[in-house]
Amino acid sequence: MDGVDQLFSLKGSTAAATFSDANLRTVAYALRDQGARYAGDNSLSTLQLILFMRAGYYVQFYDSSIPAYGSGLKTAVRSGLDSFFANSKALTKTAGNAPVLAEAVTLIDSSTENARYLPVVKSLLASYQPTDASNWDYSAAVNNTFTVLWRGHQNADYKAAVQNDTSVVDSIYQFTLRNQSLLGTSNGYLPSNGAREMARFLQYSGQKTALRPKIQDLLNRSSITGASAAQWMALADMVDYYDQASCSTYGLCDYKTRVAQAVLPTTTTCSSTLTLRSQALTADQIQQVCTSVINEEGYFHDKLKTNRTPVAGDLNSKLELVVFHSSQDYATYSGALFGNDTNNGGIYLEGNPSQAGNQARFLAYEAEWVRPAFQVWNLNHEYTHYMDGRFNMAGDFSASVSTPQIWWIDGLAEYISYSYRGVPYTDALNQAKLATYPLSTLMDTTYNNDQTRIYNWGYLATRYMFERHPADVTTLLGHFRQGNYTAARTFEKSTIGTRYDADFASWLSCVGSGKTDCAGTLPACTGGDSMVLGQNCARANQSATQGNYRYFYVYMPKAGRLTFNVSGGTGNADLYYSAAGWPQVTSFQRSSTSAGNTEQVVVTNAQPGYHYIAVHAKTAYSGVSVSASY
């Protein structure tokens, strides 16, 4: 199926030629012609036909180079879907049929035939039982009916069909009632989605009288917290949006206040600029979160040379950090309380930073899949967004993306998150081995690109610029801080252009091979003591006669990743490390003793304090460079 799935990413002339009106009509009629012969599985490649049409509608919607489809295609796709759903095997629950059915239901919505196939939707809802929960593909097919129901409200023929027809609402209600036992399970999304889509029919005056008691019944069967919370929140959210004037009928006028009190009971002042609201963090976990972001703040200022001065007009002096107990809790509550999408790993809501009283807010959740370990997912990534928005990117978020700066915005967030924590970014380093993109292409990244390009490759592009071209980073920051995103874009496209692409490819090879010192020549360590190594600096022209040592040490102010490198010169130098005192050939904690002078020791979690190395002359060496990076 990979070949068919790739059709969804076609663009431009290739997409226009592939998904022409004529081609889609041909495929739709092929579906019609095999409908009577459909055997309840994919033996006739029915799934590929459906996915081709789905891809066509999807790509055409987003790509202006593909002309609007005509009425002939509407006739063709109706004939194809009519033929498919007329086959008695089309709605069966078998393993062979369910994946095909799931895509066919989605095609109903893709082709905007939501009204025509309401009987199919009602039939699927009526057939689903709690015992079907173990059938993943059939559950997906039934869940896809809620997309048909939801998006149908955008279509005039659908609105006309449902505004006074209570049979659709009755069908959803009976489905939701019958599957209440699924709440709190991995299939709990089915009754909660059913409740949401049933309540969405409140937008029609002809539905309200019959619908209100059904909503009240389902509210009574669920509660703000616990296994049924997603259903309760779905209903309350729809009432608030479509029937707010009658909120007292449901007892929901103050529901957001009640939810906030129940779900986010703990408020902690981490610092003068940071307030933490949490659902279920322990005192120790609260301290961990506060300490992590407070220390990151200092790291960010040092790395970005901000002088701790916000961009002009930015009033976001205080951040509210909200941490839910799990990804499910985040999905259940955050959208209703704060108005954000929850199909993400957490989100920073900057608001209008120039508006007095604006509350910048970062919404996050505990990563329940790593328990019993504790982690707030994307904590340092999203906190970087706050810092970047306040100290680098003038204006609100829409201003910062007025030109394509996604490579920087999400690349910097990943780069600071991983470098601050001293954690290798394995996914990005694996991508570096593939050398998929030149730097010039990455600077064109938008949110229409895939997650790998946005995050993994954004990290690689940003890290490269910091390591190899810090002066250019300073220039870009100057434009960003002035809100001159046009000048930043000109600098990226004209001054930088493609001139770093070859060097970027070489750098990718270096980091992809696992080396940690790929920044090029490090600056000389300052200070009169020739044994002292500082942060990201080198002592050049070191030498020793056979059997002797050159000793160095570095002080780590906080825990993190520490790398020592020996390179260059002549002879054969070996590297020995210890955190307990001066190492020797016979007493060390780590070593690198390959032939020649290219040696490296990496301490992945070096603790605060002094760290010592000895560069031993296995044979006499000279002209050697010794460096420390952390």
Predicted confidence band of residue 3 (pLDDT cuts 50, 70, 90): low
* Same structural domain, 132 and 214: yes
> Among 329, 360, 390, which residue terminates a domain?
390
* Same structural domain, 103 and 134: no
> Among 57, 84, 113, which residue terminates a domain?
113
* Same structural domain, 476 and 548: no
Domain count across the chain: 5
Inside any domain, residue 531: no
* Same structural domain, 384 and 459: no
CA dist., res. 549 & res. 320, Å (int): 53
Inside any domain, residue 199: yes
pLDDT score, position 519: 67
CA dist., res. 116 & res. 162, Å (int): 11
* Same structural domain, 30 and 15: yes
In percent, the amount of the chain with pLDDT more than 90 equals 81
φ, ψ (nearest 5 deg) of residue 399: -65, -40
Inside any domain, residue 212: yes
pLDDT score, position 78: 97
* Same structural domain, 174 and 151: yes
Q: How many CB atoms lie within 10 A of CB 509?
A: 14
Inside any domain, residue 171: yes
Q: How many CB atoms lie within 10 A of CB 365?
A: 25
CA dist., res. 164 & res. 187, Å (int): 31
Nearest Cα to 465, choosing from 414, 510, 505, 500?
500
Q: What is the pLDDT of residues 263-303, one digit of tens each?
A: 999 999 999 999 999 999 999 999 999 999 999 999 999 99
* Same structural domain, 232 and 359: no
Query: Across-strand partners of 629?
Result: 563
State the SS3 of 397-434: HHHHCCCCCHHHHHHHHHHHHHHHHCCCCHHHHHHHHH
* Same structural domain, 137 and 248: yes
Inside any domain, residue 527: no
* Same structural domain, 250 and 271: no
pLDDT score, position 442: 98
pLDDT score, position 477: 96
* Same structural domain, 237 and 143: yes
Inside any domain, residue 525: no
CA dist., res. 64 & res. 47, Å (int): 27
Q: Which residues contact 624 (CB under 8 A, 6 or more apart)?
A: 541, 542, 543, 566, 567, 568, 569, 571, 573, 597, 615
> Among 258, 277, 293, which residue terminates a domain?
258
For residue 165, pLDDT beyond 80: yes
Q: Which residues contact 533 (CB under 8 A, 6 or more apart)?
A: 525, 539, 552, 553, 554, 564, 626, 627, 628
Helices within 373-405 (DSSP H only): 379-391, 397-400
Of residues 598 and 429, more confidently modeled:
429
* CATH number, domain with residue 622: 2.60.120.380
CA dist., res. 390 & res. 413, Å (int): 13
Predicted confidence band of residue 2 (pLDDT cuts 50, 70, 90): low
Lowest mean per-residue pLDDT among 334-338, 394-398, 595-599: 595-599
For residue 155, pLDDT beyond 60: yes
Predicted confidence band of residue 604 (pLDDT cuts 50, 70, 90): confident
* Same structural domain, 100 and 214: no
Predicted confidence band of residue 517 (pLDDT cuts 50, 70, 90): low
pLDDT score, position 597: 78
pLDDT score, position 609: 94
For residue 587, pLDDT beyond 90: yes
pTM surpassing 0.95? no
Give, in order, the Cα–Cα distances in Å from 502 to each of 442, 478, 495, 506, 521.
14, 26, 15, 6, 18
Q: Which residues contact 220 (CB under 8 A, 6 or more apart)?
A: none
Predicted confidence band of residue 331 (pLDDT cuts 50, 70, 90): very high
Inside any domain, residue 168: yes
Nearest Cα to 189, choosing from 239, 231, 250, 127?
231
Nearest Cα to 75, choosing from 16, 17, 29, 20?
29
State the SS3 of 436-495: CCCHHHHCCCCCCCCHHHHHHHHHHHHHHHHHHCHHHHHHHHHHHHCCCHHHHHHHHHHH
Cβ–Cβ < 8 Å for 257, 224: no
* CATH number, domain with residue 501: 1.10.390
Q: Identify the DSSP state of 333.
A: I
CA dist., res. 384 & res. 191, Å (int): 37
Containing domain of residue 369, as a range?
A: 264-390
Question: For the chain, how big is the Rg over CA atoms in Å?
Answer: 30
pLDDT score, position 101: 97
pLDDT score, position 502: 84
Of residues 504 and 470, more confidently modeled:
504
Cβ–Cβ < 8 Å for 552, 539: yes
Helix (H) / strand (E) element for 233: namely helix 229-242
Cβ–Cβ < 8 Å for 366, 375: yes
Assigned token pair, 540: 């050049």
* Same structural domain, 558 and 623: yes
Burial of residue 203 (number of CB atoms within 10 Å: 0-12, 13-18, 19+): middle
For residue 479, pLDDT beyond 60: yes
Burial of residue 255 (number of CB atoms within 10 Å: 0-12, 13-18, 19+): buried
Q: What is the pLDDT of residues 203-253, one digit of tens each?
A: 999 999 999 999 999 999 999 999 999 999 999 999 999 999 999 999 999
φ, ψ (nearest 5 deg) of residue 609: 130, -165
Inside any domain, residue 281: yes
Q: How many CB atoms lie within 10 A of CB 503?
A: 14
Predicted confidence band of residue 12 (pLDDT cuts 50, 70, 90): confident
